[in-house]
Structure 1
Amino acid sequence: MRKLQVLVLLILGTSYTINAQYTETLNSNRPGESQGAFAVGTGVYQLEAGGFYGNDKHALYKTNTDIYGADYSLRVGVLTDILELNFMGSYQAETTTLRVGGFDEEYKRSNFPTTVIGAKALLYDPYKNAEDKPNLYSWKANQRFKWKKLIPAISVYGGANLNFWDNPYTPEGEGSISPKAAIITQNNWGRWVLVLNFIADKFTEEYSTYQGIATLTHAVTPRFAVFGEFQTIISDLYADDLARAGMAYLLTKNLQVDVSGLVNFKDTPERWQVAGGLSYRLDFHEEQEYSGEATQSEKRRRSRSEKRGFFRRKNKN
């Protein structure tokens, strides 16, 4: 991440400053597990948090586990609109019931399964200064599919898992600090947005985890959006395929609420979960200065940003 920060400082030294990240309304990663490619913008302090309840039923171990907890994320835009620092974590409590000798025995555990501090930086933004100029001489050319729409925005994420306490969710012998890295892509297709996350977690430890997350979001109205998500987890400790779906609603330009659900596709364990939460931001963003007059495309971009809706996977340009 040091190299990325140096790159950001070099970008800041140019006469034209990137400001494709900030939006007039909330830009949230909730609901769902994936991160969008875009940052919250400088001067923005954003909290995303929620609670969940679910159940795991293991066909081989004959266990029944009730699970509840909370997850949270603090996101801050720093230095430039393409860079974000974030702190993410979760608390979880479980009660497992096991039939032993004709009697039900209960086992409980609780702690923080995840505590991660990291940074995300945008490497490429295909929507910056993009203009779809109509062909005045060909209706067919205007209706033709534009292959450049398949080119996504690309970000990289680097973080550190923190584990400085006795934790029943942590395998024995795992280090106090372990790495987490991700490549994030985002395609904006009008009201539809596709986000892909490719994640390598704790890859220096004995039980490394690799994940892929695909999230498709549809903005039904400027205030209401729905999403579907598929997540695959590959690890010797726990492997699974998870499906999520949910919705979010913007109460004000700085406050969003959401609900979602989760299921998996196996019985070792069989899982379901429901969740709800909110996202809230403190917005101290100030428009960055430009050297010279703004271009016509930039003026149009600013005008459009004032009319756009809330959801994180909507077009940021």
Structure 2
Amino acid sequence: MEKPSNLLLKLARRLSENPDNQEKFLESLISPQSFHPCILWCQNKPDSLPFSVESPLNWQPQFIDRLELGEKPGKHPLHHQGYFYCLDFSSVFAASILLAIPQSVQLIFDMCAAPGGKSIFAWQALQPNLIICNEVIGKRLGMLISNLKRCHISPSIIVNRDSSIFAENIPLTCDLVLVDAPCTGQSLLAKGEKAPGCFHPTAINKSANRQKRIIANSAQLVAPQGYLAYMTCTYSPEENEQVGEWFLSRFPQFQPVKVPHLQDYQSHLTSIPCYRLFPEDRLGAGAFTVLFQNTDVGEQQELDMEVLNDLGIIQNI
């Protein structure tokens, strides 16, 4: 195994006191291996599956299949026809906290939506009346629009504004707000990709501050008794558990929700019930996820479509 950097070594020791776990974590990033491909069915599965499928985990939704290594679902005609969406199983793990929401969800807002995987998962899992997908980075809008159209996620609305704009203009309107937060992307290394500077304290702190700003703005949208889901694809506690702790200290009306099916993955780095998938688990490159509920009692505000139109709808699907 190639020698890890001092910053990576330091992170491994913070994440686990067990030397064997540290070693496995480091090896998964320095000598990455392929993960099983994964697909999310957007339409009914065909009677005869076109792929070889792995045995599902006990909590895995019916609309998710993990495939055998070597399968190339993105090249199959059914993919182009919008029958399924290809995603990392880490995304399934993170988004699976939505399965713990007990009540019906009418309006979902995805604050950092591109390329669309979490939006599509939420749509399939919760069957809302409407999903609003926001992407602040203009060059990522094309991919988001393309994926939602191809997978027939309708009715859905695509917008392109800073989170603060929505906090000011449509507060207390949403049953569920998703924040798949921009992060340092450390898990890219487990896929054999590059993430320059991802372990540097300056990059981590900059990312954590941005995440706190986004989650604080997103909280304003959540209706009384509604939910806020926060997730990342990175490992640093500053971007994960510490964001959750900061959030609860600033927004005491929110409470973390236990997710029973992820109990075995509960983070030991905080007392908050939140969950981590590590690359050495061999399911996916890694993820952090936590679900909060707004415990306030009060009236949910009705979404004013004229206000949304004034903010600038990019695409109405």
The TM-score by the shorter chain falls in which range? under 0.3
Q: Which has the higher helix share?
A: 2
Q: TM-score, normalised by structure 2?
A: 0.25
Q: TM-score, normalised by structure 1?
A: 0.25
Q: Which has the higher contact order (CA 8 A, sep 6+)?
A: 1
Over alpha carbons, which structure has the higher Rg? 1
